Amino acid sequence: MAAERGRRGTRSPGGGPTTHSLLTQIAGDTVLREATEDDHPSLLALEGMAPHAGASLIQARANFFAHTDAYPVSQVLVAEREDAVIGVECLSLTEVRVGGVSCRAGYAFNTRVQPGLQRRGLGPALLTAAEQWAQAQGAGYLTGSSRSPTSRR
């Protein structure tokens, strides 16, 4: 399947890519776009830079896209500067219950920003794009989890 994937993007419930495309200039020379298979080595390297990930996670995950592939509708966004991937946000749609009522929600996960470029607005830009993607998919909520450096103290 990976060889057939081509561009990563929003997938319809039948599993095929849709024509939805995202390309946004977010700050100066930084562009937010859909991830492609060509980004795979850069995404694994970025994931390996995370202080709580490291080599053990990279060894366990040979396919960066495996987690998003588990969802019928998903998207992987990358932030790119000077042809280098400097950030990533994984997104999917899931059903949640709010007040006992089932509804569609976007799920944001595996957010990464290259060390040394953090605290410069890239994370919030990725989150804003996640919110826009979820709304475009008809989701009334965006959920996820985060781990900040201060949460480990």
What is the pairing mode between strands 101-113 and 84-98? antiparallel
Which sequence spans correspond to the domains of the chain? Answer: 2-152
pLDDT tens for each residue of the chain, 153 residues long: 333 333 334 433 333 333 334 556 566 788 999 999 999 999 988 888 776 654 455 455 678 898 888 899 999 999 999 999 999 999 999 888 889 999 999 999 988 899 888 888 888 899 999 999 999 999 988 988 766 655 444
Please give the model's pTM, rounded to 2 decimal places: 0.74
Distance of CA 38 to the CA centre of its chain: 15
- CATH class, 2-152 region: alpha beta
Residue 8 and residue 35: Cα distance in Å, rounded? 6
Residues 22-45 as b/e (b if ≥16 CB within 10 A, e otherwise) read beeebeeebbbbbbeeebbebbbe
Amino acid at 51: P
Are 94 and 71 contacting, i.e. CB atoms less than 8 angstroms apart? yes
Element (H, E) at 108: strand 101-113
